[in-house]
Amino acid sequence: MTDLTHSFMDFSLPKIMAVLNITPDSFSDGGAFYAGNSQPDLSRVLNRVDLMLSEGAHLIDVGGESTRPGAEPVSPEEELARVLPVVEAIVSRFDVPVSVDTSTPTVISEAARAGASMINDVRALRRPGALTAAAASGLPVCLMHMLGEPQHMQLNPGYVDIAADVKTFLLERIAACEAAGIPRSRILIDPGFGFGKTLQHNLILFRSLPELVDLGFPVIVGVSRKSLVGAILDKPVEERMVGSIALGMLAIQRGVKVLRVHDISATADALKILQAVEG
């Protein structure tokens, strides 16, 4: 592990993972850093990262394939062309760990070579070749639960027992990682709020967060601006910041170590308040 990765894996205090989508179509910030023809707009990206760091981000999560409900998959070549220049530019300019939001084996391998510090996979390394690429990268991995694929995941998702099903899935993926040579010390887990889940599923899962925390792996949660916040508040995406932060703080109180967020400064303030009260 590099020093950056090592420092990121210290979870004595909660961490902020800042979302940086290099896509034309992500649900709340699509297109902001995408210049068309697979090209990221690097000067805008670097300005944004500079701001993210000044606001309190601990980790930058770079993604080149939208995972919003209904999103179409992109080719590995297209994803690589969006993500790789961005990872290279960030690591050469800033002293901040970069995670790469990808399920694609070539992107995992190339991102690791370019200096990424973590792989964040919404498919929990289930794409053929992903486990092997992640093991060879030597990087920590975040295994997230998703039912189905983004294109169809919100069409009538069903579970026997959402909390137990998600836990069983994550335990199976942890076992697959260990069998592929990824040690437990490099595994983080994420229940995947909004990924193939109704509002009721999300709420039951949220209440069961302490059970996931008890598995002993750092837990990441992403609720920022998601439709579950919109459904509770009956608000559009641009009015979900306060609800997202409230939910984020409840997650931290339940033992979550990393929040994946869009609104960094406000999340950092909320964390400071929580930490001041809780000591």
| Piece of the chain touching ligand 9MG by CB under 6 A; list 38-46, 129-137, 187-195, 237-245 | 187-195
Q: Looking at 123, 173, 226, 240, which residue is catalytic? A: 226
- The position carrying tokens 């009260």 is 277
Applying the rule CB under 6 A, the residues between 111 and 140 that interact with ligand 9MG are 120, 122
Binding flag, residue 27, ligand 9MG (CB under 6 A): no
Binding flag, residue 110, ligand 9MG (CB under 6 A): no
Helix (H) or strand (E) holding 4: helix 3-8
Binding flag, residue 34, ligand 9MG (CB under 6 A): no
- We find the least distance from the C-beta atom of residue 120 to ligand 9MG, in angstroms, to be 5
- The C-alpha atoms of residue 193 and residue 214 are separated, in whole angstroms, by 18
Binding flag, residue 202, ligand 9MG (CB under 6 A): no
Residue 240 among the catalytic residues: no
- We find the least distance from the C-beta atom of residue 272 to ligand 9MG, in angstroms, to be 23
**What number of residues does the chain have?**
279
- The C-alpha atoms of residue 102 and residue 112 are separated, in whole angstroms, by 12
Applying the rule CB under 6 A, the residues between 204 and 223 that interact with ligand 9MG are 220, 222
Binding flag, residue 173, ligand 9MG (CB under 6 A): no
For residues 15 and 152, the answer to whether their CB atoms sit within 8 Å is no
What is the Cβ-side half-sphere exposure of residue 169, based on CA atoms within 13 angstroms? Answer: 23
Which of 206, 190, 210 lies closest to 198 in space, CA to CA? 206
For residues 8 and 117, the answer to whether their CB atoms sit within 8 Å is yes
Q: Which residues form the catalytic set?
A: 226, 260
Residues that bind ligand 9MG (CB under 6 A): 63, 67, 101, 120, 122, 142, 144, 190, 192-193, 220, 222, 260
